[in-house]
Amino acid sequence: MLVYLLWIVIVGACVGFIFREGLWSAFIRFVNILMAGILATNFFEPAARMMEDMIGPNLTYFYDFLAFWLVFSVSMIILHIATAFLSRVKVRFNLYLNQAGAVVMGLFTGILMCWLFNFSLHLAPLGTKPFMTPILSEDGTPLGVQWARVASYLSKGALSRSVSEAEAARYGGPVAAFPGAKNIFQTYYERAQKLEEQVTSGGGFTTESAPPR
């Protein structure tokens, strides 16, 4: 499938870009991408709603995908500037360890970017089968399941947020665990279905009323 080719391109690009930086810089970049992904996952919906308020609801199916990568990009820039300022001196490693470690970190970074890319396809205005790949399998497993596991683990641990007793029933526990009370994957699958039906019937990509987030 085409999505597999895209994964190979993403991983190859990450390895090619990162391995020259050395192990320490590659590790910091990996952490920055992880943190930027967490921030994007948490704040893309408020950013998308802000876009709707500022621009209008007609392009609602585009806002979530754009907001996700916009928040990710801005977060990456801020984190890169901050870590470059805080870590001005590179940690020295053995030459071979430095090169091999940088390649390994490049692979890890590429895989992480693929996970984020898969997750973002749930938000993209590409219907239920972007690049001929279903965003929900027949058993309900989302395409972005790997990133979902990371987000779910963090939302129940160090980055957890407690909820009231009234909300606990909706979340199935005392914390607001990912994928959320409404299940973000099911919510965006319904939006993708609606867009698919709309485009198939000749309605185009703009709308005044889309399923709620």
Of all residues in the chain, the percent with pLDDT exceeding 90 is 65
**For position 47, what pLDDT does the model report?**
96
The C-alpha atoms of residue 164 and residue 89 are separated, in whole angstroms, by 45
Is residue 31 within 8 A of residue 113, CB to CB? The reply is no
Pick 183 or 54 by higher pLDDT.
54
- Residue 142 scores a pLDDT above 90: yes
- Residue 88 scores a pLDDT above 80: no
Tell me the domain boundaries of the chain. Answer: 1-201
**For position 144, what pLDDT does the model report?**
95
Pick 163 or 50 by higher pLDDT.
50
Mean pLDDT of the chain: 89
Please write the tens of the pLDDT for every residue from 154-204.
877 766 666 556 665 665 666 666 776 678 999 999 999 999 999 999 888
Q: Exposed (0-12), middle (13-18) or buried (19+): which is 194, by Cβ within 10 Å?
A: middle
Residues 6+ apart with CB under 8 A from 3: 118, 121, 130, 131, 132, 133
